[in-house]
Amino acid sequence: MNAPLTLPAPAKLNRMLHIVGRREDGYHALQTLFQFIDLCDHLTLAPRDDGEIQLTSEVSGVSHDDNLIVRAARLLQQHSGTALGATLTIDKQLPMGGGLGGGSSNAATALVGLNHLWQLNLPLVELARLGLQLGADVPVFVHGHSAWGEGVGERLTPVTLDTPWLVIIHPGISVSTSGVFQDPQLTRDSRPITMARALQGGAPEWRNDCEAVVKERYPPIAEALNWLAQHAPSRLTGTGACLFAAFDTQQSAQAIAQLAGQHWPAWVARGLNTSPLHDALGYL
């Protein structure tokens, strides 16, 4: 039986996020640019021959069977018909509910890692289809490349973005994603743009349509955004609570993060075009 694997589950940022409509199923139609960063949870996967799926780490507020890691493992097990199981341990570093995609990334690392551990040899496109059953952001983590996303974020086209140094701030509160998307003041009619236009970057294209509603509903986020905007153009990722700004050098990012750290949890990260998960497993 294969030896245990420890694999990264990286965070993502939405470098921009436009809401261009509302679908009949109630979901919102989006246009976004996903980019990975080098902040990661780490998931250890150890094979079992009894078919059991066990997550040994407790995640606050999430029951064992509802955890996306467990659900991903069981979904892959059922889909593939394997008799193998796994013991799973998560080293959680990313804040929950921060708009960094931590839960979706954990699920994707479980799918991709167990596909490798169990020697299933399923293609990434098949794993991404499975992942979509768990959440709209799971496929981008499975595919492992910066991407232009449309639909609910699941229609992906690989792109190459700049890779700045980033200051990321978490204002220490949790945002209700459903509350933001149900807010009557939310912009839902942004004019669709082409991928080429989005890749040119800059205002007004690189904005987050959720930001105005989030700032109104959560004053601590507005305070942090206004503070960071004094140092560089700043945006929310997803529906927050995390926000970020890009810098040309690691030194300048570290200086701002140190100042931010006097008020909020803050990190310096590097933008990436390929996922650390794919690097660890040798995907091209």
Q: Which residues are catalytic?
A: 12, 137
The stretches of the chain forming alpha helices (DSSP H) are: 68-80, 102-117, 124-132, 138-143, 177-182, 195-200, 211-217, 219-229, 250-260, 276-281
Instruction: Give the separation between CA 236 and CA 239, rounded to whole angstroms.
Output: 7
Return the structure tokens found at 259: 């100042």
Return the structure tokens found at 176: 């209700």
List beta partners, residue 36. Answer: 12, 272
List beta partners, residue 274. Answer: 145
Interacting residues of 130 by C-beta distance below 8 A, sequence separation 6+:
72, 75, 76, 79, 111
Tell me if residue 257 falls in helix, strand or coil: helix
Of 21, 12, 15, nearest in space to 195 by CA: 15
- Check if the beta carbon of residue 100 is closer than 8 Å to that of residue 237: yes
